[in-house]
Amino acid sequence: MPLRTNVPENFLNLFHKILENEPVENGNKLNLFSLKISSNAFSYANLEEELGDILTKYALSRSTYEDLREKEKYTTLVTKAKDRLRNAKSNDGELGEILLYAMLESHLKAPKLLTKLELKTDPNHYVNGADGVHLLKINDNTFQFIFGESKLYSDLKEGVKKAFESLKNLLKEDLCKLRYEIQLVNSNFLKEAHDEHSVDLLKKLLIPTENDEDLNIDYSFGIFLGFDAKITDDERKLSNVDFRKTIYDKVKNAVLALLPAINDHIKQDDFRGYSFYIYIVPFSELKKQRKKMIAELKK
């Protein structure tokens, strides 16, 4: 692999895998992972700690990260990463973007090429386009650029709808917007210092005239969906064992009920020839938790 992933596989130990690589339309995969439950509540504190550890590599370019690390400017490294995040009060989406990055790296083993956050010059500025671009090696001659899209909606059905609408928008104008994303990777990634093999391979994948080998590149989409698993007072009174089973079954049934709708979206003509990697995570009190976790990350 030309690049290494920065999120270790043990990040996934924070989650209970309810559905893993569940088949959906056209040979695609869906994953439903729930944060582990302790004392009848999702273990948010453990997730906050782990996201704090990976934030610097997510928010900063590889060259910025390596430069500050080599100079042992660790405080600057952390401060720069935190400064990229928007204020928690107006921050509705960045938690999903970070979790998408973490899932694609730790579960799919697809290292990031670029994230929306590292392009920001102002923490309150919104960067349009894909939430991130990752590279997945299929075999020695075939690679995929994965364009990320994350949505955090209380209603999962609405989140699914909005995610596919955003992806359809990326495909408008005869792939013009996807080509723009590739140009962003080209201009921001290749100017950084990497090992010679990585640069050589990525040039061949990013610049058609450089591809003097039989290398194939396809486009695909990574989707992260967070939704609200509303927990009732009666459910909270259950024993720890019964609570876990009840909540895990509840979110599993909610996702399985939406599989036909997800398949209908994937089957649309716009998405023929594209692969999908879908990750779904339930939250309790989503609106409150996502702001709280961003606030913790910005501390």
**Residue 269 confidence (pLDDT) above 60:** yes
Distance between CA atoms of residues 75 and 133, nearest Å:
27
> Tokens in use for 83?
């400064």
Query: What span, in angstroms and rounded, lies between the C-alpha atoms of 58 and 112?
Result: 8
Q: Is the pTM of this model over 0.75?
A: yes
Query: Residue 119: pLDDT band by 50, 70, 90 thresholds?
Result: low
Q: What is the mean pLDDT of residues 35-49?
A: 94
Residue pLDDT, tens place only, 67-117: 788 888 888 878 888 877 765 455 566 899 999 999 999 999 999 888 767
Comparing CA positions, the residue from 116, 118, 279, 138 lying closest to residue 205 is 138
**Is residue 166 a contact partner of residue 153, using CB atoms and an 8 Å limit?**
no
Domain range list for the chain: 16-298
